[in-house]
Amino acid sequence: MIRVERIGDATLYLGDCREILPTLSGVDAVVADPPYGIPHKFGIQRQNDGGRRTLQFEWDGPGVMETVFDAVDKSARLGMAHFWWCGLHQASGIADRLMASGMVPKPAAWVKECPAPAGFGTWWPSGFEIGVYAYRSGAWFGDTDKKRSNVFVSDSYRFGQPGKVAHPTQKPLGMMERIVGEIVAPDACALDPFMGSGTTGVACAKLGRRFIGIEIEKRYFDIACRRIEDAYKQADMFVARAPNPDVYDKPLRDLFQETNP
């Protein structure tokens, strides 16, 4: 049973994106953060301070790969531009599918300012995540910075921080505002087939973009509904503005200049 909630300019679906995607139209861009299909069994990691951190989730693993690829195939017809965060084992498959649909795929990276600390018996902790973006000829692009790059530098959320919710892979709002603001035109519509806690929808609400979100887990869907509803209560919710990189994310070149004067 598919549940639909309409909040402001957002339409939110609780259900399987593979069933809902074929029914959609009017999408201008896709901004997605699916499960990464991580094949390793991390379980619980002990921290140097004696704490414990969960690194494995029942909704992520190799079995999700075909679901994600199917969603890419079904959404590739929608929109002029796509941006997919993804795992190592997904990147080439997503890029190939977007290219087959007529788009030009390219890589992206999110460099974390404060990555998780190394645990006992581990090698280097993950300090970045990868993504694939793609566009068709004539796609709208709103970043006029001549020094822009495909590397986004932003801190990751940790539990206890303001804005952190009960979702383990929540993306930073500032970074998602920047992506939405640069590939989704003012008053256009963005789609996230793996909405999670709704960060892309919050970014759209704050920037005056329309949004369609799909989430299969009710607990995360309810969090997304609350966050997006709260975003629409903000005074600046309908202001279509370009993100301010001085506030949200520092270019990698500036980070190097600060650490290597």
Residue 237: its pLDDT value, please? Answer: 45
CA distance 218 to 196: 10
pLDDT surpasses 80 at 34: yes
CB contact set of 140 (below 8 Å; sequence gap of 6+): 28, 80, 81, 183, 184, 185, 188
pLDDT surpasses 60 at 93: yes
Q: 106-124 burial string, b = 16+ CB within 10 Å, else e?
A: eebebbbeeebeebeeeee
CB 48 within 8 A of CB 119: yes
pLDDT surpasses 90 at 146: yes
**pLDDT classification of 160: cutoffs 50, 70, 90:** low
CA distance 96 to 87: 15
CA distance 212 to 11: 5
* DSSP β-ladder status, 10-14 and 151-154: unpaired
pLDDT, tens digit, 9 for 90 and up, residues 191-232: 999 999 999 999 999 999 999 999 999 999 999 999 999 999
- Say which CATH superfamily domain 3-259 falls into: Vaccinia Virus protein VP39 (3.40.50.150)
**pLDDT classification of 58: cutoffs 50, 70, 90:** low
Q: How many residues does the chain have?
A: 261
The CA angle 162-166-172, to the nearest 5 degrees, is 50
**pLDDT classification of 38: cutoffs 50, 70, 90:** low
**pLDDT classification of 1: cutoffs 50, 70, 90:** confident
52 phi and psi angles, rounded to 5 deg: -130, 140
Q: Give which of 73, 33, 82, 71 is closest to 183, Cα–Cα.
A: 82
pTM of the model: 0.81
Own/partner contacts of 22-28, CB < 8 Å, gap of 24 or more, are 22/74, 24/78, 24/191, 24/212, 25/78, 26/189, 27/75, 27/78, 27/79, 27/189, 27/190, 27/191, 27/212, 28/79, 28/80, 28/81, 28/140, 28/184, 28/185, 28/188, 28/189, 28/190
CB contact set of 58 (below 8 Å; sequence gap of 6+): none
- Residue 82, beta-bridge partner list: 30, 134
**pLDDT classification of 135: cutoffs 50, 70, 90:** very high
